[in-house]
Amino acid sequence: MTSHPHSGGGPLSDRLPRSAAPRSGEPGRRPAVPAAESLAWDLWNFRALFPEAGAAELLAVKREQDAILAREREALARLWSGDQDLLSPGRAFLAARPEMAGGITVSLHTGPYQLLAEPWLAAGFDPLILLNRAALPRFRDAVAPLSRRLRHPGRVDWAAVGDPGFMRAVVTAVRDGRPVLAYLDGNSGDDGAAGTREHGLRYALPGREIMVRTGLARLACRLRCPLHRAALRWEDGAVVWDGAASLTVGPGDDPDAVARALFDWAFAVIGLRPAQWQYWAMLRDSSACFTAARLEQPPLPPALRGDSRQAFAACCTHAPRTARLVLEHRIEIWGREVLADLTTDRFYPAAGLSEDDLGILRDGQPTLQELRDHHGDAWLQFHGLRLCLLGAARLGV
């Protein structure tokens, strides 16, 4: 697949059955996305990297992901049974790059990313792995048993971003010459994805602007610490390690420029083999259009909003059994945070509206009284009115 696939596919609504998306949750896990979150969101997300892609390209990548997962299970089963052929590429990769014994190695959630630390442990180093707090337990549960089984001479230390003392642990490891391993695409600091969206560095992808963290770059510049780059991938059941030249940085370097160089490398790797990436949710979690300042407000001018409120209130009071709320746009709730109007490609705060709330509107044209009976008067007065003010619904008879 090229880095910018082209397709004859139409808009988001074209030929998109509702489906669970594989491997699109937090790093370190592979949950299915709830069925209520449709494939439309996955395609919108996919188009951040491949703006011209259609449903066919996305579904082809999903099929490839499923095939990779099946091969991965077979390969890891061989590893647990004692076949260590999977490990030799990583050990050779590290042996050919002695400079990676220290400094910060940044990687991605691609291929068998859980094997990242294995070459350092096998060589007797004691790496510190920097992780998202939510991913740490699952990652530790995967790495620790394998390390014991392989009788690694090295040991792993863990630092969860945001935990007390995590930065001190990273600084101490760097100054002691120990390797620090981090996943660049985790892209969340101690305030999580919301903090990234609100305070991150703007970064332009082919199809969308996202917000990215600069913490690793700032730390490396401050400590005059080299930044190494390595990514793992599956190829015919074998593990392949890809690298890039190390970055030598210092206090005189611009951390934003260093961060951009790191993410340029990351998305070049992902663009070449999108099915190998297991953290697509990173793109939507950090999309700049979801920042609080950029989520759009109702499109009506204040005077018309006042008229609409009065008309809605009058119908609720005097004609609730005959006035109907007609959903005119295709809308979905994405990630419990964003109300996506797919008809106009606009995004608003969900404001507590859930995907389940929309079922009665999609199934027909309920009267205001039916909505009141189903959801309650408070829901009707707030969400019913708000859908009208957003232009996504109208009152009818």
CB 212 within 8 A of CB 267: no
Closest alpha carbon to 135 in 242, 288, 278? 278
Confidence grade of residue 303 (pLDDT, cut at 50, 70, 90): low
Judged by average pLDDT, the poorest of 35-44, 255-264, 307-316 is: 35-44
pLDDT at residue 306 in the model: 76
Q: Which of 43-47, 136-140, 284-288 has the highest mean pLDDT?
A: 43-47
Average pLDDT over residues 349-364: 91
pLDDT at residue 9 in the model: 33
Of 334 and 258, the structure prediction assigns the larger pLDDT to 258
pLDDT at residue 259 in the model: 97
Of 136 and 209, the structure prediction assigns the larger pLDDT to 209
pLDDT at residue 33 in the model: 39
pLDDT at 177 over 60: yes
**pTM score of the predicted model:** 0.80
pLDDT at 246 over 80: yes
What rounded mean pLDDT belongs to the chain?
A: 86
Of 13 and 3, the structure prediction assigns the larger pLDDT to 3
pLDDT at residue 11 in the model: 34
pLDDT at 318 over 60: yes
Of 7 and 293, the structure prediction assigns the larger pLDDT to 293
Confidence grade of residue 375 (pLDDT, cut at 50, 70, 90): very high
pLDDT at residue 38 in the model: 72
**What are the extents of the domains in the chain?**
76-289, 302-396
Average pLDDT over residues 209-236: 94
pLDDT at 13 over 80: no
pLDDT at residue 127 in the model: 96
pLDDT at 144 over 50: yes
pLDDT at residue 299 in the model: 64
Average pLDDT over residues 78-100: 92
pLDDT at residue 16 in the model: 31
pLDDT at residue 296 in the model: 65
Of 198 and 158, the structure prediction assigns the larger pLDDT to 158
Average pLDDT over residues 202-218: 94
Average pLDDT over residues 87-108: 96
Amino acid identity of 210?
A: I
Percent of the chain with pLDDT over 90: 61
Confidence grade of residue 75 (pLDDT, cut at 50, 70, 90): confident
pLDDT at 114 over 80: yes
